[in-house]
Amino acid sequence: MSNADPTSVSGNVPVFPLPGVVFFPHTVLPLYIFESRYKAMVRDAMEGEKIIAISLLKDGWEEDYAGNPAFHEVGTMGRIEDLEPLADGQFHIRLTGLQRVRFEGLIKDRPYQLVQVRPLPETPVDESASRIVSAKLDLLASHGCLVRELMVPEGLGLVLDDRVPFEAAVNSACANLPVDPAVRQGLLEEDDLLLRHRRAADVLDAVLKRVLSLKASRSREEGGSDLN
């Protein structure tokens, strides 16, 4: 498999379903691997294509987590870029998101879930078009402001460089929205990249407005306390 070309993946990809995590292409996801079945998954992946997919667990996953809990049909496959072996066969790994995929068929001959995937290509955009450039810059500005206001720690795959492609800017903003995971999952499942951008920008602006309002209220309260 070519590391640079996600279309060369065999089509059978191990899935790591997680609660609260929605993984997007062109973002980075650090993971701590400690369960036996997922340690086996990482070892097998490293001996093969170095590809695993991440999917958000569906509501009620707690009831069957030791078995095969249900996960959303759309996720993202990523390439293992870094692997740090730990004690007892555990790992720290870092995934780079490659492409959105739809999970279509379960193969049950592994301790983890090996699934047939169908790639979901993104809508092509003209990166030189003025409306695309303007939309990207506006999104990056709002995203950067929210990151600063929330003091987001490093290591979350933030993309705030105006030289990045439009798709990377949109997906990074989606991945880091501090909202219910179901909202981020809905954005991941949106096939139209331009519509995903508009939806993400609306959510981002609403969150930023709320954060700034709360900070202003707190500042006024603290100022009033000082006067007392």
Between 95 and 67, the more confident residue is 95
Per-residue model confidence as pLDDT tens digits over 167-211: 999 999 999 899 999 999 999 999 999 999 999 999 999 998 988
Amino acid residing at 211: V
Q: How many helices (H) and strands (E) does the chain have?
A: 5, 6
Kindly report the number of other CB atoms within 10 A of residue 109's CB atom. 5
- Give me the helices (H) in the chain, please: 36-47, 130-150, 166-175, 181-189, 193-227
pLDDT at 227: 54
Q: Which two tokens stand for residue 138?
A: 């506006």
163 Cβ contact list (under 8 Å, min separation 6): none
pLDDT of residue 216: 83
Q: What is the mean pLDDT of residues 127-144?
A: 93
The whole-model pTM stands at 0.85
Greater confidence (69 vs 165) lies with 165
Span 70-91, pLDDT tens digits: 899 999 999 999 999 998 899 9
pLDDT surpasses 60 at 7: no
Quick one: pLDDT band at residue 4, thresholds 50, 70, 90?
Answer: very low
Q: Which helix (H) or strand (E) holds 76?
A: strand 74-85
Residue 102 has pLDDT above 50, yes or no: yes
- In the predicted model, what is the mean pLDDT of the chain? 87
Give the per-residue pLDDT at 145: 85
Report pLDDT for 217.
83
Q: Is the pLDDT of residue 99 over 70?
A: yes
